[in-house]
Amino acid sequence: MLHIILYAIVPIVVIMLVGYISGKKGVFNGDDSKKFNKVVLDYALPAALFVSIVQSSRSMLAADLKLTIVSTLVIMGCFMVVYFVFAKCFKGNTGADGAVAALINGSPTIGFLGFAVLEPIFGTNPSVALVVAIVGIVVNAIGIPVGLSLMNASLDKQGQTAGGKKESAWKPVINALKQPVAWAPILAVVWVLVGIPWPKEISPSFDLMAKANASMAVFSAGITLSSIKVTINWQAVLGSILKLIMMPALALAVGMLCHMDTENLYMLVVACALPPAFSGIIIADEYDVYVATGTSSLTLSVILFVVACPIWLYITQLVAGPCPGVTI
């Protein structure tokens, strides 16, 4: 457990703290953070996902079909629970508030912290990339379009959409699939299924770009947090509880019922225990919906994740048995 804390958790905290301090001192600002995020989401992360997946095999992809089904059921199930809780159970909240709460607390920040957390624990291998890719596709290609559709439907009822125009229900889906972080892993899966040999001479170029992913994502997250005004309330606390407890617990339960591969189960539980999605905060800020509470919940979850991650690894070991190659 100490090894995991020192090699997986502490580096993230240190780099995020450096980003936070640089933001507070004015070395970087929110606009710089957005540019860093664009490098991560449009270049570094897609490169990391693509080059890792194309080096896998058809048998690995077939084995990960169960992972795909469980990930989709767990993440979207939690997504809808968060939506209904925050849209229906809190006086004054609208459907748009519930949708943004789901985009934040119903989605793990897999794109920013996936590789940074999973690789130090499970090693650098195609299995890690497949978990990050599958969870990333669920979050970006399913969760975000669903959340935007629910939010737009609520804003339409309130007459708050720009120009009073109603967006097509398919527009969020199309926009999500246009993003490199969504289509790069899909292209890589197609590449493997077709059976095209991957020229290893190209890998170093992709690897160099991919190496920028984890450190830049965590540093940028620190800058983002430095610009957030934190106001802790019951909604922020409940959002953190649902994200850090409900989602990994459901992943562990469903994964055990479906007899998932042990290593995949461990990685999925850790992925589901990641802090809320930073993309949800970006959407909240863009539409000016649920900004204060959402950002407060995100900040609280990032702090609590330092404790939650080791605890969930320990619980998973008790329930599922030891994971090969991982010492807890």
pLDDT at 161 over 70: no
Residue pLDDT, tens place only, 208-223: 887 777 788 788 878 8
Report the pLDDT averaged over residues 270-288.
84
Residue with the bigger pLDDT between 240 and 1: it is 240
pLDDT at 29 over 50: yes
- Look at 42-46, 51-55, 240-244 and tell me which has the smallest mean pLDDT: 51-55
Report the pLDDT averaged over residues 239-266.
95
In percent, the amount of the chain with pLDDT more than 70 equals 94
pLDDT at 273 over 70: yes
Total-model pTM: 0.82
d(CA 273, CA 253) in angstroms, rounded, equals 14
- Give pLDDT, residue 158: 72
Is residue 156 helix, strand or coil? helix
Residue pLDDT, tens place only, 119-159: 889 988 888 888 988 898 888 778 888 888 888 888 777 76
Residue with the bigger pLDDT between 264 and 159: it is 264
State which amino acid sits at residue 197: P
- Give pLDDT, residue 162: 47
- Give pLDDT, residue 133: 84
pLDDT at 253 over 90: yes
- Give pLDDT, residue 52: 74
Tell the CATH topology of 2-320.
Answer: Na+/H+ antiporter like fold (1.20.1530)
Do 132 and 49 touch, CB atoms closer than 8 A? Answer: yes
d(CA 19, CA 324) in angstroms, rounded, equals 34
Annotated domain spans of the chain:
2-320
Report the pLDDT averaged over residues 242-271.
95
- Give pLDDT, residue 183: 84
> What residue has token string 């570094």?
44
- Give pLDDT, residue 264: 93
For 7, the token pair is 């090699």
Do 321 and 261 touch, CB atoms closer than 8 A? Answer: no
Report the pLDDT averaged over residues 82-100.
92
pLDDT at 160 over 90: no
Which H, E and C letters describe 67-123, residue by residue?
HHHHHHHHHHHHHHHHHHHHHHCCCCCCHHHHHHHHHHHCCECHHHHHHHHHHHHHC
Q: How far is CA 24 from CA 14, 113, 220, 225, in A?
A: 15, 22, 13, 9
In percent, the amount of the chain with pLDDT more than 90 equals 32
d(CA 64, CA 59) in angstroms, rounded, equals 9
Residue pLDDT, tens place only, 59-83: 777 777 899 999 999 999 999 999 9
